[in-house]
Structure 1
Amino acid sequence: MVVVTTTDLVSEAPPRPLDRILLIGASRGLGLALADEWSGLGRHVVATVRGSSRTPLHELADRDDRDVEIETVDITAPDQIAALRDRLSGRTFDLLFINAGVTNEPDGTVAETTDEEFTRVMITNALSPLRVIEALADLVEPDGTIGVMSSGQGSVTNNVNGGHEVYRGSKAALNTYVRSYAARHVGDRRSLVLMAPGWVQTDLGGSEARLTVDDSIPNVVTTLDSLSGSTDLRYVDYLGRTVPW
């Protein structure tokens, strides 16, 4: 039986520089902040938006001091994922990071949620990230990193208060599917990271969140850097602390 473990931060190889980054979902919120942080550190970022409308990411890419390319993909559309893969053919990245995700509206119990809303959240947050990983993993260097933005709310162990049931369930499903992916790829030297960024003040997190973007995102980047070179799946928070499954 294959057992995939999450352990404290002990890399099996020296961390490798994550200089070339493919960031899925960066038009606003945490994704935009990640593109800003990485490009501000002098790293080359290929970042995606969903449509043709101008976004704050375009403003970031227009700055002379930033190395940001913009691509377009809706991760819920398999044909668009395949088209992105074709456009990036021949290129390689040190890090593939999938940030795209949604919350459910209105926020009620599972039983109160419509079939359509439940399906939308689960497809976006759980199914689509795995489709992206399967399609784009071979663009990541053999000793590179694949990361996915999860949530502390995806922890079944830590769910002692309930609430946000559909969103919680979608992130718990995402964690399970990434764990299954890891179990199917034993021996792959790429690092796999499920990242819980904390409760952050964004459109999704709301104004009452405990952390600002500046509290979370620089630490997310530092943690991802520290985990490059590891070979097990890690489920960690923005400070690098292991999150219980």
Structure 2
Amino acid sequence: MSTKTALIVGASRSLGLALATEFTRRGWDVIGTVRGESRTDLHELAEKSGGSVTVESLDTTRPEQISALRDRLAGRTLDLLFVNAAITRGNIPVGDVPEEMFVEVMVTNALSPMRVVESFRSLVTPTGTIGVMSSRQGSIGLNTRGGQDVYRASKSALNQLMRSYAVRYADAAHTLLLMCPGHVRTELGGPDAPLSIDQSIPGVVDTIEHHSGEPGLRFLNYQDQEVPW
């Protein structure tokens, strides 16, 4: 059986790095992207991987870099495309959010991941998987506490855009996943979050692998449970 290949966009640290590490541990070849040219923990993982991990540079907010990476990978076949990209700019009521901040979060968290998906979808095998990192904060039904207005809105927008994508390519057999990793202790999740990265990411990968070959769009968490839209 040939080795499976994953492209993980946003793999320099935190959840993305953990995804790259976990897939490598399970025998996958991993192409991971980082922003800029600085050395990251992903470079160290690549050096220790015996060739199974390669590092590419990509700023997803720059369309010309998306196109350039697509050209560089034109001869590759992907079993998994997974986009892990998100920023937050603090817990600010939406009426107080500067317009440039709103645009920055929306472009980074919603528009840019979809540009990546649209650009790389043709490299994914016909029964492969396309996933993006969402959040329970993108669930309208679960928003009973408010807060994090713009971050929530950006993840809801991402979910809606993936829904539209799924309808547009309804004849394709790709597995489409919106993944919620849970509330994890990261820079974004904060130090008081209940989950460690090691508690979250193996479950995310289990869920991705479990649904391989199942066409259609699902919004799931790291425990393979449906998340309300």
Shared fold by TM > 0.5? yes
Deviation of the 1:187 alpha carbon: 1.4
CA contact (8 A) 1:76 1:128 kept: yes
The structure whose RCO (Cα within 8 Å, separation 6+) is larger is 1
The secondary structure found in structure 1 opposite 2:158 is helix
Kindly tell me the number of residue pairs found equivalent between the two proteins.
229
Relative to its length, the structure with more helix (as a share) is 2
Q: Distance in 1 between matches of 2:190 and 2:44?
A: 23
Residue number in structure 2 paired with 1:179: 163
1:96 aligns with 2:81: yes
* Alpha-carbon contact 1:60-1:66 (below 8 Å) kept: no
Query: Aligned-pair distance for 1:72?
Result: 0.6
**Match for residue 22 of structure 2 among 20, 27, 37:** 37
Distance (Å, rounded) in 1 between the aligned partners of 2:109 and 2:130: 16
SS at match of 2:126: strand
Q: Write out the 4+ residue segments of structure 1 that deviate beyond 2 Å after TM superposition.
A: none
Map residues 138-153 of structure 1 onto 2, 5 A cutoff. Answer: 138-153=122-137
When residues 142 and 199 of structure 1 are mapped into structure 2, their CA distance, relative to the original with a 3 A threshold, is same
What is the CA–CA distance in structure 1 between the aligned matches of 2:147 and 2:173, rounded to whole Å?
37
Q: 2:3 touches 2:29 (CA, 8 Å); kept in 1?
A: no
Kept in 2, the 8 Å contact 1:151–1:196? The answer is yes
Query: Aligned residue for 2:173?
Result: 189
The offset of 1:17, in angstroms, is 9.1
Structure 1 residue 231, shift from structure 2 partner: 1.0
Structure 1: runs of 5+ lacking an equivalent: 1-15
Deviations 1:71-116, CA, capped at 9 Å, x for gaps: 0110000000000000001111100000021112x32111111111
Question: Secondary structure of the residue that 1:74 maps to in structure 2?
Answer: coil
Residue of structure 2 in register with 1:50 after alignment: 35
Closer, same or farther: CA 204–66 of 1 in aligned 2, 3 Å:
farther
Q: TM-score, normalised by structure 2?
A: 0.97
Report sequence identity in percent: 52
The aligned residue for residue 231 of structure 1 is 215
Q: How far is 1:229 from its partner?
A: 1.0
Which residue number in structure 2 is paired with residue 159 of structure 1?
143
**Are 1:240 and 2:224 an aligned pair?**
yes
